[in-house]
Chain A
Amino acid sequence: MNSRSHPTSLLLLAVALTIAASPAQAQQRDSLQALKRLTLDQLMNIEVTSVSRRAERLAQTASAIQVITQEDIRQSGATSLPEALRLAANLQVAQVDSRQWAISARGFNGTTANKLLVLIDGRTIYTPLFSGVFWDAQDVVLSDIDRIEVISGPGATLWGANAVNGVINVITKEAKDTPGLALVGGGGTELQGFGTARYGGTLGPRTNYRIYGTGVARDRTLLPNGQGAPDDWHIGQGGFRIDWDASASNRLTLQGDLYDGRSNQLRPGDVTLSGKNVIAKWAHTISANSDVGAQMYYDRTHRDIPGTFGEDLDIYDVDLQQRALLARHDVVWGVGYRLINDRVANSPGLAFLPPHVARQWFTAFVQDELALVAERLHVTLGTKIEHNDYTGFEIQPSGRLNWTLSPSSTGWAAISRAVRTPSRIDRELFVPAQPPYFLAGGPNFHSEEELAYEVGFRRQNGPWLLSLATFYSHYHGLRSLEQKNPPNPSPLVIGNGQDGESYGTELAATYRLSDRWRLRGGYTELRVHVWPNPGSTDTSRGATESHTPDRQLFLYSSLDMPAHLRLDGMFRYLSEIANQQLPGYAELNARFTWQPVAALDLSIVGQNLLHNRHAEFGTPTARRLIQRGVYGMAQWHF
């Protein structure tokens, strides 16, 4: 199976590299002319942060990055972070039920998808329970988001062990950018009611703050037989952010959130979740050529799913990093420490054993971007070294080549190694809670390894923004279920008996037809193959590890009409998820807005308009049907 697909992928890489390496003459004048044509506003807005954890222009980053702006989020009518993430063509996003989502990049999607790293303002939000994200607990105020950077492909060298297939970096606005009182409220059929109040002000000449409160109630989805699934769901959240510009070279940020939510479920008893977090950050400029940043945070989550499991988790995290420019070198290095204290309440049906664990991670990374040809050809070499309690040291190096074709165009290529280190679910999950076990943990589970090859191109010029990435990844030691004492079918243990590969292309484009009309589109082709290694008794061929459509397309039109009206439409198509017998589907969201005065914005939004009901994820008996929804919304800004 793997020998069948390698040659094609290698050919693809070869073709791409050949084209990318074709000779071209430097014409410095062109690039300068392009820069000089930018307006002052544009000049002040041309940097992004996450790819190298430092400043870099989007058009020049050597990775498959897509950016969702505040404008995109607002105009799309998205009402939750997962809905906003549908705007990134390089993500696979599926709504599972009223509160659960399956989100991944480059395949391997599932409700416990484990190869994606998600950060909100520098705080990692994955759970060490399964290395994934509980999306229901991430109720970010969408209007306070500055941008979301979505990187598909390995980001492990800088970002860490979870960034096997991608990084999502949610960046909220600085407090000074959210002044005054803002109120948002509305409701409708599926999204029954929601409201947000936010106030921003100053605490001194160089200190800004904001406080907010938000809440949402969502209607139940449907069971496959059309009856209501008891999963109505509501959550409330409040929080604050303070930015203090202590001096020209020192900046401090303190922010925190508090949330509490509740959902019905099929079993008796409501699902409850709550949590709080606080993060402090310090950024210091040492000189024009060097800066240093430090951050520490505490994150507590509580989750109770009666009859299944409960969890109380505390995370403590400290990070330090420095950047230095030395002649032709641009060096970033950092160290980090992370401690988790996880207490699980087990049920008769399943157990994490031992129920209470404390685990720690030590990380260090260094990366050097070297100008091979000044301002044109850069090579970036780096590695992350991590120590975890399960597998000891892990090394994740990467090499990137960044070829600046013009200020607006970049070609890039990368080879990266990344690992997905064990989480509690891989080592400590037992089903049922008492012997005889059907599933008896994974005492020997070690890290899943990935070797990824990527080639991409990006062009940002005038009304056009075009981004293309192609990739081939090989995975070794993917999670498998092995018979402990073959040929006895049970117990099973979790092992590393599968290998796999994925390859595909991600294309995204934005085109501004005029100041009033903007189009955005994305198309992704993706193939994932998983097969058992010799000696493995797993025959699932990845059916437990990856639920991903082969292709997806989205088109988004945003039209500013006369008389303070605007119309936004977003169409999406996803092909079938074969190993769930889930048919492909097409859906349309539309938003109609009237802005009678600058401070007031009234809109009506239709979600999933093409069908009465549709499913996005799950096997035929387990899936939930998502219904067409309509809601109205009002936004005031004083």
Chain B
Amino acid sequence: MALLTAITVLASSLLLVQGQSPRTSEYQLKAVFLFNFAQFVDWPPSAAQDSQPPQPPQPPLLIGILGDDPFGSFLDETVRGERVGARPIQVRRYRRIADIEECNILFISRSENERVPDILSVFKNRAVLTVSDADDFASQGGIIEFFTDKSRIRLRINLDAADAAKLTISSKLLRVAEVVRTPRR
């Protein structure tokens, strides 16, 4: 009798399942974070055209990946069909700094770990949200650093760097992040 009950419960609960899809990996989660950053950060009008005249086609919000792409297809799938205000989101991949045009969010892969100071010096004071999971990224002057703490993804935000880039970061994002300042040298 108990087993019958068990089978019934098991069967009915399995039938609750509707959608099927991939399991969450570290970079799937980080891709969703990047998508969230696009919502919680305001770019100055020069870089992100004011969303006031909403009519004709808006320039896309560009997310760049510099170095080896750890996301696979996750990032593309995450932003496909999404908009920030009226702006569609596009993903670009770059091997070299020189290739990078106007992008709004730049994810710097860990493959560029050694070159982080050089890369940041190029984007300093430009309205680009630099993001990376490279070691000590935020304290080196990057804006948002992913780090892992007790198996959870955490954020470290360098507010000085964000101010220099004239980016406004929503308090909702700041609240869940650890805020650091650029060490004075």
Question: Which residues A404-427 have CB closer than 8 A to chain B?
Answer: 404-407, 409-411
Whether B151 pairs with A28 at a CB distance below 8 angstroms is no
Contacts of A402 in B (CB 8 A): 23
Contacts of A169 in B (CB 8 A): none
Contacts of B29 in A (CB 8 A): 35, 43, 46
Please give the distance in Å from B121's CB to the nearest CB on chain A. 20
Per the bound structure, the CA–CA distance linking A356 and B56 in Å amounts to 86
Given A15-B11, A16-B7, A45-B152: A30 in contact with B21 (beta carbons within 8 A): yes
Task: Please tell me if A488 contacts chain B, counting CB pairs below 8 Å.
Answer: no
Task: Please tell me if B5 contacts chain A, counting CB pairs below 8 Å.
Answer: yes
Contacts of A507 in B (CB 8 A): 9
Question: Which residues A23-56 have CB closer than 8 A to chain B?
Answer: 24-32, 34-36, 38, 40-41, 43-49, 54-56
Task: Please tell me if B6 contacts chain A, counting CB pairs below 8 Å.
Answer: yes
Whether B20 pairs with A25 at a CB distance below 8 angstroms is yes
Whether B20 pairs with A406 at a CB distance below 8 angstroms is yes
Q: Which of B2, B3, B17, B151 contacts A55 (CB 8 A)?
A: B151
The 0/1 profile, CB within 8 Å of B marked 1, for residues 120-156 of chain A is 0000000000000000000000000000000000000
Per the bound structure, the CA–CA distance linking A345 and B10 in Å amounts to 51
Task: Please tell me if B32 contacts chain A, counting CB pairs below 8 Å.
Answer: yes
Whether A406 pairs with B2 at a CB distance below 8 angstroms is no
Please give the distance in Å from B101's CB to the nearest CB on chain A. 27
Whether B22 pairs with A35 at a CB distance below 8 angstroms is no
Whether A288 pairs with B14 at a CB distance below 8 angstroms is no
Task: Please tell me if A619 contacts chain B, counting CB pairs below 8 Å.
Answer: no
Contacts of A577 in B (CB 8 A): none
Contacts of A44 in B (CB 8 A): 152-155, 176
Contacts of A15 in B (CB 8 A): 7, 10-11
Whether A57 pairs with B10 at a CB distance below 8 angstroms is no
Of A25, A29, A288, A551, most buried by chain B (CB within 10 Å of CB) is A288
Question: Which residues A458-508 have CB closer than 8 A to chain B?
Answer: 459, 466, 468, 470, 503-505, 507
Task: Please tell me if A525 contacts chain B, counting CB pairs below 8 Å.
Answer: yes
Per the bound structure, the CA–CA distance linking A27 and B133 in Å amounts to 29
Of B16, B33, B154, most buried by chain A (CB within 10 Å of CB) is B16
Of B2, B18, B24, B25, most buried by chain A (CB within 10 Å of CB) is B24
Per the bound structure, the CA–CA distance linking A419 and B19 in Å amounts to 39
Q: Which of A35, A248, A405, A459 contacts B24 (CB 8 A)?
A: A35
Place the interface of chain A in its size category.
35 or more
Whether B172 pairs with A40 at a CB distance below 8 angstroms is yes
Given A288-B70, A378-B23: A525 in contact with B2 (beta carbons within 8 A): yes
Please give the distance in Å from A326's CB to the nearest CB on chain B. 14
Q: Which of B9, B70, B135, B155 contacts A468 (CB 8 A)?
A: B9
Contacts of B20 in A (CB 8 A): 24-27, 30-31, 376, 404-406
Task: Please tell me if A631 contacts chain B, counting CB pairs below 8 Å.
Answer: no
Whether B9 pairs with A43 at a CB distance below 8 angstroms is no
Question: Which residues B116-141 have CB closer than 8 A to chain A?
Answer: 133, 135-136
Per the bound structure, the CA–CA distance linking A26 and B17 in Å amounts to 12
Whether B24 pairs with A57 at a CB distance below 8 angstroms is yes
Contacts of A468 in B (CB 8 A): 9-10, 13
Please give the distance in Å from B111's CB to the nearest CB on chain A. 9
Task: Please tell me if A391 contacts chain B, counting CB pairs below 8 Å.
Answer: no
Whether B18 pairs with A406 at a CB distance below 8 angstroms is yes
Per the bound structure, the CA–CA distance linking A405 and B173 in Å amounts to 30
Contacts of B16 in A (CB 8 A): 409, 459, 466
Task: Please tell me if A604 contacts chain B, counting CB pairs below 8 Å.
Answer: no
Question: Which residues B159-175 have CB closer than 8 A to chain A?
Answer: 172-173
Chain A minimum-CB-distance residue to B175: A40
Task: Please tell me if B184 contacts chain A, counting CB pairs below 8 Å.
Answer: no
- Total A-B Cβ pairs within 8 A: 164
Whether A376 pairs with B152 at a CB distance below 8 angstroms is no
Whether A28 pairs with B110 at a CB distance below 8 angstroms is no
Task: Please tell me if B35 contacts chain A, counting CB pairs below 8 Å.
Answer: yes
Contacts of A389 in B (CB 8 A): none
Given A32-B78, A457-B14, A507-B9: A27 in contact with B19 (beta carbons within 8 A): yes
Chain A minimum-CB-distance residue to B11: A19
Task: Please tell me if A612 contacts chain B, counting CB pairs below 8 Å.
Answer: no
Given A16-B7, A46-B152, A505-B9: A287 in contact with B110 (beta carbons within 8 A): yes
Task: Please tell me if A71 contacts chain B, counting CB pairs below 8 Å.
Answer: no
Whether B24 pairs with A406 at a CB distance below 8 angstroms is no
Task: Please tell me if B71 contacts chain A, counting CB pairs below 8 Å.
Answer: no
Whether A404 pairs with B22 at a CB distance below 8 angstroms is yes
Whether B22 pairs with A374 at a CB distance below 8 angstroms is yes
Task: Please tell me if B182 contacts chain A, counting CB pairs below 8 Å.
Answer: no
Contacts of B28 in A (CB 8 A): 35, 375
A-B contact pairs, 19 of them (CB 8 A): A19-B10, A24-B17, A26-B21, A31-B21, A32-B78, A35-B29, A47-B150, A247-B135, A248-B136, A249-B135, A288-B70, A376-B22, A376-B23, A378-B23, A406-B21, A410-B23, A457-B10, A468-B10, A507-B9
Instruction: Identify the B interface with A (CB < 8 A).
Output: 2-3, 5-7, 9-11, 13-14, 16-25, 28-29, 32-33, 35-36, 40, 70, 77-78, 110, 133, 135-136, 147-148, 150-155, 172-173, 176
Closest 5 CB pairs of A and B: A375-B22, A31-B21, A30-B19, A55-B151, A404-B23
Instruction: Identify the A interface with B (CB < 8 A).
Output: 8-9, 12, 15-16, 19-20, 24-32, 34-36, 38, 40-41, 43-49, 54-57, 60, 174, 247-249, 285, 287-288, 374-376, 378, 402, 404-407, 409-411, 455, 457, 459, 466, 468, 470, 503-505, 507, 525, 527, 550-551
Known: A16-B10, A409-B19, A505-B5. 14 other contacts (CB 8 A): A9-B3, A12-B7, A15-B7, A19-B11, A32-B77, A44-B153, A47-B151, A57-B24, A249-B135, A378-B23, A406-B21, A459-B17, A505-B3, A551-B2
